[in-house]
Amino acid sequence: MLQEVGIDENAIKIIEDKAFGNSVGVKDSTDWHLKLLYYADLRTLPFGVGTLDERLADVRGRMPKYTSRPDFEDLVSACRDIEKQIQENLDIPVLKIIDENTKFVQNILNTFQI
């Protein structure tokens, strides 16, 4: 679908690589586009932006295909490391990235037609 709408191949690769099962690979990557996209996805809950802990609780509750993996705790640890990596490169605390502070972006995105 991404190819059909003309999305750049590099962007498609980043989107494909951001799967939860690839958390360790994202943590070890030097690709900041991938890390930022991955972290944004980690902070996105079904009904808004949450903390990493809230998202991991959501994964535990809704996604048994991941929680039953023998490396699940390694994936969780990698997610926490990714958050630390992101925080080290931000001027604001990651915990300030909350639903209330992202409303303007949500409003812009709501105007796009798919």
Q: What is the per-residue pLDDT across 39-96, written as a single tens digit (0 to 9) for each?
A: 988 888 887 888 999 989 988 888 888 888 999 999 999 999 999 999 999 888 888 7
Q: Name the pTM for this structure.
A: 0.75
Domain ranges of the chain: 9-109
pLDDT of 32 strictly over 80:
yes
Side chain identity at residue 71, one-letter code: D
- 97 pLDDT tier (thresholds 50, 70, 90): confident
Give the model confidence (pLDDT) of 10-22 as tens digits.
777 777 766 788 8
Alpha-helix residue ranges (DSSP H) falling in the chain: 9-17, 23-28, 32-42, 52-62, 64-67, 72-88, 103-109
- pLDDT score for 54: 92
